[in-house]
Homo-oligomer: A and B are copies of this chain.
Amino acid sequence: MTAQEKDYRNKKDLSFINDIKSMAVIGTSKKRNFFFLRNHFATFKGPIYAVNPSISEISDFPSENIYPSVKDIPGEVDFAFITVPKNKILGIIDDCVVKKVKLVSIFTAEFSDAGTKEGIELELELLKRANNVVRFLGPNGMGLFYPKKGIQWRGKFPTEAGNIGFVAQSGGICNIAIYTAKELGFHFSKVFSFGNGTDLDVVDLISFFENDPETNIILCYVEGVKEGRGHDLMSAIARTTKPIALLKGGKSEIGSNAVQTHTASIAGNTKIWKSVFKQNPIMEVNSLEQLLHIAHLIDCYGIKKIENVAVFSISGGYGVVLVDLLQEAGLNIPNFSPEIQKKLDEQFFIRGTSSRNPLDAAAQLFQGDSIRRIIDIALSDKKIDCLVMDLPSYYFDPRYFFTPIENFEEIIIDTLCLGHKYNKPLIPIIQRTHTPEERRRVSKILAAKKVPIFGDPLEVIPLLPIISEYYTKKTQNT
């Protein structure tokens, strides 16, 4: 690679992605009932074409939008989803070059991922033919999910757009992430599944997100980088001003072997990864669930110092366990400031409660808006960075109470939003008990108000120091 080529590789301009107006699905076939075409057709906001030389009719799809070749399409084609057999891929790429398609997703697999000499060579040829004219995702990837434009490889993907960008090699990981985020109630700006990463890889896509006005938070699932891209990755991460969280697949010995079958990446270079995490401000997590929860937390509350935590519990015992878990994670549960403590003392009037940190509300939960006042006062303490509380989901079932409490749910939801009043994370653990419908209803209401809820303290507590350390690193670096 010449220095010029290398320079180009690191400065791929992908800003055109935000202007995609037209697309084609190339190789769509009857065998799969035009699966990918139908998924995109259902939501894509612009002209969409089907390309297959042996098809002239597709049920519920306009026949005037079916073409034998992408070159025959009269209008422009900004984006193409390619699902042709491997032996046809080079011809199709040539066509895309002629047509000046800006971005293609190559779903077709068995290139370097097959581990064969032939596959590796074909993949290199693909790169050569695309010739920096056509940018491509894949092969062996799902490509692009872009809800704002209605670009989606799967049905029932959420249609709302958020400001979280996600980049992963694995399409399966992306599917799980997209459907889980839909349930948690936060939204992606764009998701890239780049597969073998032959042209566009994690480095390019992190750089793209950094410059993307539609993205505020960057999430990555990475199994490895191609030889020679380690330093580029570190630079890309170092340049990133937006919060970035990363899940590394293949950290363990056997995990790293598995990666080779999966995406033919060099996961094994643990040295690179260790220095990525050590030298750069980046939030490293250990599971896909943690990656999604940390995104949800940051989307709701931003990046904050989280050192001193107030704990509020309904069950004193559960509060004690929360304190243990928080301390184990390196967080403090300090005494409240004297003037705050005084105000809190005045709010507790039922036996079995405790006005100190951890706050134990016990039956006082049912006393109108007294818990709203208590949490408001606790959060107003300058010493306190964050409040963690538990609230079993059965309290949201009015049948649970012998005497129904007026406006109970309204007051509680209002209370759970108090973090935003003080610009401090308020984190409710709403346990997954026998009333999942109630839990889900409340979870949706709260997600819309940018309050994330959790079901298990271990889902969220280990993430708090990660956010806080990122905050510190970022503050020190600037």
Contacts and interface: CB of A to CB of B under 8 A. Distances in A.
A397 to B, nearest CB: 9
A262 B362 CA distance: 10
Given A255-B324, A324-B250, A262 B169 contact: no
Contacts of A314: 172
Given A176-B318, A433-B180, A456 B262 contact: no
A288 B324 CA distance: 12
Contact of A249 (B324, B400, B458): B324
A362 B170 CA distance: 11
A328 interface: yes
Name the residue among A156, A252, A314, A357 with the largest chain B CB count within 10 angstroms: A252
Interface string A201-229: 00000000000000000000101000000
A135 interface: no
A289 B320 contact: no
A314 B175 CA distance: 11
Nearest to A155: B400
A142 to B, nearest CB: 11
A177 B90 CA distance: 60
A133 interface: no
A327 B114 contact: no
A465 interface: no
A147 to B, nearest CB: 14
Interface in A408-459: 431-436, 440, 456-459
Contacts of A156: 394, 399-400, 434
A182 B287 CA distance: 27
A436 B184 CA distance: 11
Interface stretch (A15-23, A297-305, A348-356, A368-376): A348-356
A277 interface: no
B392 A175 contact: yes
B433 A440 contact: no
A247 interface: yes
Given A170-B316, A317-B249, A318-B172, A179 B394 contact: yes
Contacts of A254: 323, 327, 333, 357-358
A246 to B, nearest CB: 12
Given A109-B351, A249-B321, A459-B456, A176 B328 contact: no
A381 interface: no
Contacts of A38: 402
Which 9 pairs between the two chains have the least Cβ-Cβ distance?
A: A172-B315, A170-B317, A252-B327, A179-B433, A173-B317, A262-B316, A255-B323, A249-B320, A255-B324
